[in-house]
Amino acid sequence: MVSKEEKDIDIFGYAPFLFIHLGSLLVLFAGVSYPALIVCFALWFVRMFGITAGYHRYFSHRTYKTSRQFQFLLAVLGNSSVQLGPLWWAAHHRHHHLHVDTEQDIHSPMVSGFWWSHMGWIMCPKYSETNEKVIRDFAKYPELRLLNQFPTVVPIALALTVTGVGMLLQHYVPQSGTNGFQMLAWGFFFSTLVLYHTTFTINSLAHTFGTRRFDTADTSRNNLFLALITLGEGWHNNHHYYPASERQGFYWWEIDVAHYILKVLAWLGLVWDLKAPPKTIYDKANTHREFKSNQT
Ligand SMILES: [Zn+2]
Ligand SMILES: [Zn+2]
């Protein structure tokens, strides 16, 4: 149960979170260029894929299979988003599904309020530990344990790489108008800031605004805008109703970019056994059509 005492927010509770917010202010002093904006967008996109396809659809819900090598790549990609290690992320998310919108749910906007669900709980030191009991299936891999134990190594390596690319561009392609400082500000800090708050909308807004196709016992919603800014996570009512599905947009018109990318990766043989929603789910959706129109 998330009691009042347990909601003590400490802005230093997860220091990298504060660091990313402060670091993002550097864009005010770094100037801007097309290369910096392109890297900012590209790193948001790739890492959002790491969160939704890796941390969420793979490590939390096992909705498809892959090799141990590609599994590690997904873990590194998710880790580069500065949202702690794969075991921590997936363990907390499994807990969310088990206790959604009850007193035990760590980030329910219904129970604990919008800002707590969006980012307050991340700054609460109480939730910094990984409950290995719920993530035993992946905790057996030493390489995942290592990432989970030292979750800032990959983000620091990314920040240094982005800065290095900026310095190289300044030296060899001065007409690009960028430099190491500018790349660090936009490509790493600002990109991570946007990644944070787009990811967090699923815990806050996707339990607040949108339509409900399925009559779930929670407050989850389907929301096109949130699906667009999270590469498919916005179909959250679908997902809470049937979390075993790899695709979260259950119909062709429900845009789910991470699903399209995973389909391509499946054609390439890098991932396989993508689980789709069974037919009974679609029957259920039809029977709830009236419910949906009443709720929207
Ligand atoms: Zn949820
Ligand atoms: Zn989930």
pLDDT at 288 over 70: no
Tell me which ligand sits closest to the C-alpha of residue 219: 1
pLDDT at 246 over 50: yes
Mark out the alpha helices in the chain (DSSP H runs). 15-24, 27-30, 34-49, 68-79, 86-98, 109-112, 114-118, 136-139, 142-149, 153-172, 180-183, 191-200, 224-229, 236-241, 257-267, 279-287, 289-295
Average pLDDT over residues 157-172: 98
Window from 58-67, 110-119, 222-231, 284-293 with minimum mean pLDDT: 284-293
Ligand 2 centroid, distance to 166 Cα (angstroms): 36
Which tokens belong to 126? 């109480």
Ligand 2 centroid, distance to 97 Cα (angstroms): 6
pLDDT tens readout for residues 41-71: 999 999 999 999 999 999 999 999 999 999 9
Determine phi and psi for 222, rounding to 5 degrees: -100, 130
Contact between 216 and 237 under an 8 Å Cβ cutoff? The reply is: yes
Helix 153-172 to helix 34-49 angle (10° resolution) is 150
Average pLDDT over residues 128-148: 95
Tell me which ligand sits closest to the C-alpha of residue 242: 2
Ligand 1 centroid, distance to 87 Cα (angstroms): 18
Ligand 2 centroid, distance to 94 Cα (angstroms): 7
Ligand 1 centroid, distance to 32 Cα (angstroms): 36
Average pLDDT over residues 166-181: 97
pLDDT bin (cut points 50, 70, 90) of residue 286 is low
Ligand 1 centroid, distance to 266 Cα (angstroms): 26
pLDDT tens readout for residues 9-26: 777 778 888 999 999 999
With a CB cutoff of 8 Å and minimum separation 6, the contacts of 29 are 185
pLDDT at 293: 41
Whose tokens are 């607040």? That residue is 208
pLDDT at 198: 97
Query: What percentage of the chain carries pLDDT values higher than 70?
Result: 94
Tell me which ligand sits closest to the C-alpha of residue 237: 1
pLDDT at 48: 98
Ligand 2 centroid, distance to 192 Cα (angstroms): 21
The DSSP letter of residue 235 is B
Task: Round to whole Å and give the CA distance between 161 and 157.
Answer: 6
pLDDT at 168 over 80: yes
pLDDT at 4: 52
pLDDT at 291 over 50: no
Give me the torsion for CA of 201, 203, 207, 212, rounded to 10°.
80
Ligand 2 centroid, distance to 86 Cα (angstroms): 14
With a CB cutoff of 8 Å and minimum separation 6, the contacts of 283 are none
